[in-house]
Amino acid sequence: MTTIVLVRKNNEVIVAGDGQVSMGNTVIKSTAKKVRKIEKRNVIAGFAGSTADALTLFERLESKLEKHAGNLSRAAVELAKDWRTDKYLRRLEALMAIADKENSFIISGTGDVLEPEGDVIGIGSGGNYALAAAKVLMDSELSAEEVAKKAIQVASEICVFTNNNLQIEKI
């Protein structure tokens, strides 16, 4: 598992993720990159779950964005439809937190496209810890990036499947 947090604050959008890859109770890698940016469309995404599945979904998201002229809402719904109905995709186990300048979504393998209330999303094994920490920090003078960093740090101190090797993307 992993921890991904998405923060919107003061016209900044940040997606941060830890770098730990675990297999059972063993840490396999501590510097994995679970946050990606689609430069052409100014979209950022973080993945929790199986790495190979997440990369497959990221490629699908990218193609949906191309097909729908960068409309993230439409691309997210179309990806979720495919994910739920395609025999191959249906077996993928991952969650995605995605954002552009205006929208933030969680996409799940059950076909959910959720637009959470508020300006923070947390997914993965440490997602709830990071979400709680970020919500508290949103009222502070910290920037969106500082909130995301501190939220992942808190999650890494609680969740054994999360470390403090951060990857951050912003738009």
CA–CA gap between residue 118 and residue 152 (Å, rounded): 18
Beta-bridge partner residues of 54: none
2 in active site: yes
In 3D, which of 101, 100, 104, 80 has the Cα closest to residue 92?
80
Radius of gyration from C-alpha coordinates of the chain: 15
Cα distance from N-terminal residue to C-terminal residue, the chain: 25
Backbone angles phi, psi at 119, to 5 degrees: -115, 20
Distance CA 123, CA 35 (A): 12
Which residues are tagged catalytic?
Answer: 2
